[in-house]
Structure 1
Amino acid sequence: MIRAIILDDEVKGSTLLQHKLKNFSDRVCVEAIFNDPQEALKHIRDYTVDVLFLDVEMPLMNGFQFLEQLGQFDFEVIFVTAYNMYTLDALRADALDYLLKPVDPEELAKALDKLEKRVSAKAKLALSELPAVGASSQRIALPTAEGIHLIKKDEILRVEAMSNYSVFYVMNLSKIIVSKTLKEFEQQLEGSTFMRVNRSVIVNLDYVIKYRKGDGGTLELLDGAEIEVSPMKKIQLLERLFAS
């Protein structure tokens, strides 16, 4: 059963989404609803959930700022908003999905399908024998609103752009939102096992488990994420993945 939280500053919006999720009561359970992002920041860590349905435009704090304030979290994010003015590519880089209000039931069902696949992959990853991490591995400092996280570079699965933020996915299955662009981290991570495979994602190649052919191709990572590869990066990627 998928466990969910809804954050929408409009009571009407959160109530309507909850009503639509009841049509999938065999798949998802809404653990809590927040209509104030400040209240959500105080109490969201009291819950263990798989997904946050997050509004973008909210007074005082938008959805991006909420995630930055939260700092580190281990659930998926599905944006639910009345506005399509945001760059979908940027949003999808971090969000599992992006739903426009009023939410279409078929689109909601597709989002839940993707979510179940991701949750299943993360559960397998948590139970799997993870690659060994060296005690002397280099670390990177990630400043967030709640403090500075020191993360070993070889514990990073990937880094994805989200508007003017960067999202670090790490081996403990959590995510860390940093208010810096991907370009600012590219030099710190370049070389070694990291590679920028498109304009929005830097991947740790040690955690690639499958490459699917295509124009640029698609990478499947250990946590179930699927990353599109830029055609311009394809040859370089294949050389690094399959070098003898």
Structure 2
Amino acid sequence: MNVDDCKRAAAHLAASLVKPGMVVGLGTGSTAAFMIERLGERVAKEGLKIQAIPTSEESTKLARAAGIPITTFADHSVVDITIDGADEVERKTLHLIKGLGAALLREKIVAQASRRFVVIVDVTKPVDQLGQRVPVPVEVVPFGYEATAARLEAMGAKVIRPRRHLTGELLTTDNGNRILDCAFGPIDDVQALAARLDGTVGVVEHGLFPNMATDVLVATEREVEQWAP
């Protein structure tokens, strides 16, 4: 299987975990898109009755196109299951880096409100230590982002500031903020770094998701492996 086939296999298995009557958190990104597509097929063919809370405007569009009913936290403060991708998964702990799709704030809000948080990845995403291959995305308020970037650099990050579209325009998140990609290198203590980022003025949210995944589905060329903490 190629990478897309692996993503699709994990996404379809995750979609099979959704039961009638559930409130489902819909992740953002290429792997989550396969899952949303599959859930839409189940809604159409099986008459599956669910309601969904998407984690981005893009996922909202995909869900509506797939015929999945949308709800909000005003009606449902608890999500039964959230299914989302990740940019890195630490093998031993299942700590995550998320947010290369710039939806990390809403992704974390939905994940923390969920009884079950299922992460779907292909075989390229697991690592021995977070930060080996990808930076930590950090969502910051636009005002004074240069000062925020300097504080992050003082913490040891190599900061790409701020993220831009391929067109060269500054990227603005669905929440009106900026993304600073912070390369810390291999992270020895994920929870400690997460706490430092949480306490940094100007930081709205960051892409470290420690101790949040209840299941990780890893699609290899032969099978989909299910990992648990």
TM-score where L is the length of structure 1: 0.30
Which one has more relative contact order, counting CA pairs under 8 Å at least 6 apart? 2
Higher alpha-carbon Rg: 1
